[in-house]
Chains A and B, each alone.
Chain A
Amino acid sequence: MNVVFYVSGAVAVIAALMVVTRASAMHALVNLIVSFLAIACVFWTMGAPFAAALQILVYAGAIMVLFVFAVMILNIGREEESMQHEGRNRLIWLVPAVLTAALLVEFVVAVSTGQGPTGRGVVGPEAVGRSLFTTYAIGVEIASVLLLAGLVAAFHYGLVPGRREGRNE
């Protein structure tokens, strides 16, 4: 399991570096998804399968969908299109493919050998849910209020200015 941890950590770091250094927003997004998947692998090796599932579902799923929509609506990829037409850089997919393949090899090896975060150190979803809704119940309420505030604020800022400008004051 140590190997899985170190390989996943290296993949996460390399993918995060590529997020920061890419010129095109779409490429950075794909690398960000790889980085989040690698961090989910790290969670899994640490005996936190629930956190790993949430990392994939919420970070690599929901939040990334928002980012993809934002990049498409804002039309940031214009310079990227011209770059692709001119350069025809065929090796641009190589590094993400290698990183994702490393994650896949880890998964296949871990599943086929039966090694998993089983036994003493695993903190499963049941323990997390029990703690979340007893000890941290007030935190859950505050988080729901925060999400509601985020919803209202995003709706407010998303309104087309001019049409309802008088109500914004």
Chain B
Amino acid sequence: MSNVPANHTLILAAVLFLIGTVGVLARRNLVFVLMSIEIMLSAAGLAFVAAGSKWHQPDGQVAFIFILVVAAAEVAIGLSLIFRISRYFRGVDSDELSLLGEESEI
């Protein structure tokens, strides 16, 4: 059994989460934004599993399964929204989505 301190696992989860946050903030391509959100969700699951393994309880893995369900639903809806956006705007650039700032007839 590993004796990695739980601090290090939490630091790893935080680093991964911050990388995902930077991806969400910095990238303009919506597919990359969705991938970065996946990294963030995975980091959150990592923190849950780390906590569960620190106290040898299954609750952390149960929470991880729920995060998995949320990630699957989020990817399905997000990708179908990206399909719809690419059909309307001829691209997946998030800077193109400025309809709220204009007179829109939709």
- The interface of chain A, by Cβ under 8 A from chain B, is 1-2, 4-6, 9, 12-13, 16-17, 19-20, 25, 28-29, 32, 35-36, 39, 42-43, 45-48, 50-51, 54-55, 58-59, 62-63, 66-67, 70-71, 73-74, 76, 117-123, 127-128, 130-132, 135-136, 139, 143, 146-147, 149-151, 153-158, 161
Contact = CB atoms under 8 A, between A and B. Distances in A.
B68 to A, nearest CB: 5
Q: Is the interface of A mostly helix, strand, loop or mixed?
A: helix
Contact of A157 (B34, B64, B77): B77
Nearest to A132: B62
Given A13-B19, A20-B23, A66 B38 contact: no
Interface of B: 1-4, 8-9, 12, 15-16, 19-20, 22-23, 26-27, 29, 31-32, 34-36, 38-39, 42, 45-46, 49-50, 52-53, 56-62, 64-66, 68-77, 79-84, 86-87, 92
A153 B78 CA distance: 10
Contact of B1 (A20, A50, A117, A136): A117
Nearest 7 Cβ contacts at the A-B interface: A150-B73, A1-B2, A157-B80, A20-B23, A46-B53, A131-B58, A154-B76
A59 to B, nearest CB: 6
Given A47-B2, A54-B68, A146-B70, A120 B56 contact: yes
A147 B72 contact: yes
Nearest to A158: B80
A49 B9 CA distance: 16
B62 A20 contact: no
28 contacts: A1-B2, A2-B4, A5-B9, A6-B8, A12-B12, A12-B16, A25-B31, A32-B39, A42-B9, A48-B60, A51-B49, A54-B64, A59-B38, A63-B75, A66-B79, A67-B75, A74-B92, A121-B1, A127-B58, A128-B61, A128-B65, A132-B62, A135-B59, A143-B66, A147-B72, A157-B77, A157-B83, A161-B84
